[in-house]
Amino acid sequence: MKHILTTLLALTIMATTPALALEINNQHSTVTFEGTHAGTPFKGHFEEWSGQVNLTENNGIQATFHTNSAQTGNPMYDGTLPTVDWFDSKNHSKATFQSTKIEEVSTNNFEVTGELNIKGISKDITFDLTTEDLPDGHIKGQTTFTINRLDYAIGKKSDPSGEWVGLEIPVTLKFTTKP
Domain carrying residue 172: 21-176
Predicted pLDDT at 14? 37
| Whole-Å CA distances, 74 to 40, 80, 95, 123 | 13, 10, 22, 29
pLDDT computed for residue 20 by the predictor = 80
Give the CATH number, domain containing residue 27: 2.40.128.110
User: Does residue 159 fall inside a structural domain?
Assistant: yes
Residue 8 falls within a domain, yes or no? no
Q: Domain for residue 13, yes or no?
A: no
What confidence tens digit (pLDDT) does each residue in 67-92 have? 999 999 999 999 999 999 999 999 99
Tally of domains in the chain: 1
Average pLDDT of the residues of the chain? 90
Residue 33 confidence (pLDDT): 98
Contact 139, 177 (CB under 8 A): yes
Low-confidence ranges of the chain (pLDDT < 50): 1-18
The conformation of residue 69, written as its DSSP 8-state character, comes to G
How far is the CA of 93 from the CAs of 11, 42, 66, 142, in angstroms? 44, 23, 6, 25
Is position 7 within any domain? no
148 close to 121: Cβ distance less than 8 angstroms: no
